[in-house]
Amino acid sequence: TFSFAINFISFKSSLIKENEILKDELGRLRLNKIDYDILFKENEELKAMLGMKKSEMRIVSNVLSKPPQSPYDTFVLGSGKNSGVQVGNKVYISDNIIIGEISDVSDDTSVARLFSTGGEKHEVILARTGESFVITGSGGENFTVEVPKDADIVWGDSLVHPGNSDYILATVYYVD
């Protein structure tokens, strides 16, 4: 029983320490979010001054089913022709992250095929350097890209949709 009490006290103290670390990290993330919001607003204002306003219409939709309920690397969305959805429309999960395009539409629903569908190839731009690459969908929301050995690509780099660098398609999380 004595060893149980010691283990409990050390376990409790490690949890308290971890909780404090997480609270500090949460505070830093909140400050980063404030910085991000300020920079995002400034960026939008600068684009407006340069006449670079986003002119596309956005349709917000519910996800009715996703893998494994829907076919691999697809989502069934709760908006269709009646909402203005058309085959080929791009699909976003946020203002700046693009994930796929509409592949099929009915009156009230649509199917979004992810760019990460196995074997799908897409051109991307490395945001940091402006270099072009072709990424290949590996399925399960993953991509692979083969680059020359001396390519300047590092963990955390953003790969953006060509034509508009505002839309991130992927982020590098492993370099072999």
- Candidate from 19-28, 81-90, 109-118, 122-131 with smallest mean pLDDT: 122-131
Cβ distance 132 to 123 under 8 Å?
yes
> What pLDDT score does 34 carry?
83
Cβ distance 122 to 135 under 8 Å?
yes
**Helix (H, G, I), strand (E, B), or coil: what is residue 174?**
coil
Q: For 11-43, how does the pLDDT look when each residue is reduced to its tens digit (9 = 90+)? A: 777 888 889 999 999 988 888 888 877 887 787
Residue 52 and residue 46: Cα distance in Å, rounded?
8
Confidence band for 139, pLDDT divided at 50, 70 and 90? confident
**pLDDT score of 53 more than 70:** no
**pLDDT score of 140 more than 90:** no
